[in-house]
Amino acid sequence: MSWLNTIPYLVGLAAFLFLPGVVILRASGVRGLGVAAFALPVTASVMGVFAVLLPFVGAAWNPVSFLICAAITAVLALLTRFVIALINTDISRPHSFETVDSPVVDRLRRFRWGVDAPVSLIYLAAVALPAFAIFYRYAHGFGNVERISQTFDNIYHLNAIRRIMDTGSGSSLTLGNLTAESAGFYPAAWHDMVAQTALLLHVSIPAAVNMTNIVIACLVWPLSLLFLITRITGPRLLPIVLTAALAPAFPAFPYLMVEFGVLYPNHLAIAILPAVIGAVLQILGMTQADTPTFWPGLVALVGSLPGMLLAHPSTLMALIAFVMPVMVTKLWWMYIDRRRSPADRRRFWAFLGLFVAYAVIGLICWVVLRPAASSSTWPPFQSPAQATGEVLAGTPMGLPGGTLMFILTTTGVLFLVLTRRQRWVVGMFLMGAWLYVTSTSYPFGDVRTFFTGIWYNDSNRLAALLPVVSAPVVVLGGEFLIRWVTKRVMQSETYARLAATKAPWLNQRLIVSAVLAMLLVGAGALQVQSGAMTAEQAKLNGRYYSGKESLLLSPDERALLDRLPEHVAEGDVVVGSPWTGASLVYAISDRQTLRPHIYGAVSPDAQYALEHWEEAPYNTAACSAVKNTRAFYALDFGPLEVHHGWHPIPGLSYLEGAAGVELVDQQGAAKLYKMTGCK
């Protein structure tokens, strides 16, 4: 399938993932930009939560049951809204995230290019432009919609999706390591979403993965970032345009999460994170809105937080960290205002209680919701000064260049600090910088593990969080520079002489056109990032490259897996090394394998069959294990493993020419064998 042919699929998929959230949010009385920004996050919440609940009532997880669950959620949201309206009549009206009577929005609504351009069209353009840029990079990086990432974690992700499709259960409580013997918690919201995609569109799992990730990166990320920025700046034109230019220009996100790992669940969770932070700002009254918007902020937060949590819990920890400077600032402001009136004093004490609860619960989550310290083995690799430079330049993990981003970031920090405007934005930025610098440059120890052990001390995961908190600083820095340059131009003698001539071409439209032209040039420069984006694109291309030397699955191996169902009946099981592409027989060929994941326990019969499969013709115990597990087939994909390691499977070491073992299919060096000597 070509990328051009995927467009109808992508449009349908976007509608399937966005419309349920739109209906639920509108039923809750929300309108404006927040409906678009939170539509897919709310859908993710419905998917993640109901996937956990449905097994308890014996219902299968599929597109039909999902749509029913979404409809139930919409009805409950509508009923909740009306019940609350009995107490507070103000809730009965729809509430917009935008200030419809604001002079700023009115100027946007009547921003003239010869015709009236509604604010919705400006937002649409601000999403469409980065969506196109991100789509181009993803499509170029994937190479083909059917290709897979040739990485370690992808074995689990692809097989987990197949397990959800096979069992009809997408519960995060039981997905675990994909076997009955190792069932346990694993955040499954992303896997649930891709499983629904594959079932709905009737496409392969690799294609469903790539298309779902494209929708997340091209639509969710720009909308989420746009929502956060407009909470901080208000709906001003320059920040909106700058956000459109910046959304595809950070190499650390979204590209890094589909290149490294691969960390697909983090890809979804981090894409949602900016909007969730924006909802918190809305609830706390820390936005530039002119009218109260507590209710839509609360709805958005409650509706999207479960989806983000069930996509990947570590992003909740990032939310706790990034919101802390906002909470401290709010507390300080209320402390200063407490003497104005008894009501202000009561509000201060109430918020102080909320702040203490937030800090205590946040600390408990920070300590408890983390992997074992033994898993946090990623080492530091640079000095604090180098790490700090990477943060400022927007080029983490050793990427080159970043001069333009460095200028914008430092300008934004200085502007916010020196003008004393929204310093909590700098606080969020410093929090993200601290986590990244700690993971990349601090030596192993309790301090490093306490702060970054939640992310396995893995610098890549923390690098991907940086754009969330650096984007507001960069946007504000870029806006200040543009306004400063424009002011200097308009104060120049040349402009004064031209203005005196009353030249017909010297008007606001020309000035705005020139500014936007400069922004487009700047967007192009940001895309290049002096080599940073080029380097990240090359890494992405390499991860999805499919050739004879591919670490996980070569073209010959993929071809054999594609036609494997012709030889292996449904219900029969295929044995193979989980360290090679043979493990993907479950995801790609839809045939069970004894070990669908590198880790995790298996039954005694399965373990014995793995260790003695080729002995079945003359070993009674091995033959019994093969028959009990129905493991009548084996794949030999050679010794090349996904991590260049050496993990031989004893029962599959000498298949060629073994008595009672028949070669039934071969593609290049990839071979499929059948056990004929055990009946």
Residue-wise pLDDT tens digits, 115-150: 334 567 788 888 998 999 999 999 999 999 999 999
Question: Where does residue 659 rank: exposed (0-12), middle (13-18), buried (19+ CB within 10 A)?
Answer: exposed
pLDDT at 521 over 80: no
- Asked whether residue 436 is assigned to any structural domain, the reply reads no
pLDDT in tens, 447-497: 899 999 999 999 999 999 999 999 999 999 988 888 887 777 766 676 666
Residue 318 located in a structural domain: no
Q: Which of 34-43, 279-288, 351-360, 431-440 has the lowest mean pLDDT?
A: 279-288
Helices 508-528/403-419 angle, 10° precision: 120
Tokens of 391: 């943060």
Kindly state whether residue 496 falls inside one of the protein's structural domains: no
Q: What is the pLDDT of residue 110?
A: 42
The answer to whether position 443 is within a domain reads: no
At residue 380, the 3 state secondary structure works out as: coil
What whole-number distance in Å separates Cα of residue 121 and Cα of residue 134?
20
Give Dmax over CA atoms of the chain in angstroms.
102
**435/463 Cα distance (integer angstroms):** 9
Percent of the chain at pLDDT above 70? Answer: 88
Residue 488, domain member (yes or no) = no
**Mean pLDDT over each residue of the chain, to the nearest integer:** 87
If you average pLDDT over residues 311-335, what whole number do you get? 94
CB contact at 8 A, 70 and 23: yes
Residue-number span of the structural domain to which 566 is assigned? 555-675
Q: Is residue 214 part of a domain?
A: yes
Q: Is residue 467 one of the residues assigned to a domain?
A: no
Strand partners, 592: 573
Q: Measured at the alpha carbon of residue 147, what is the angle toward residues 589 and 668, in degrees to the nearest 5?
A: 65
pLDDT at 236 over 90: no
Query: Does residue 659 sit within a domain?
Result: yes
Last residue of a domain, one of 273, 298, 313: 313
In single-letter form, the type of residue at position 237 comes to: L
Q: Examine the pLDDT at 523 and tell me if it is beyond 70.
A: no
CA atoms within 13 A on the CB side of 542: 9
Last residue of a domain, which of 313, 330, 345? Answer: 313
Instruction: Give the list of residues 6+ apart from residue 589 with CB closer than 8 angstroms, or none.
Output: 561, 562, 564, 565, 568, 574
Asked if residues 318 and 57 have their Cβ atoms less than 8 Å apart, the reply is no
CB 320 within 8 A of CB 366: yes
Q: How many domains does the chain have?
A: 2
Residue at a domain's end among 287, 313, 339: 313
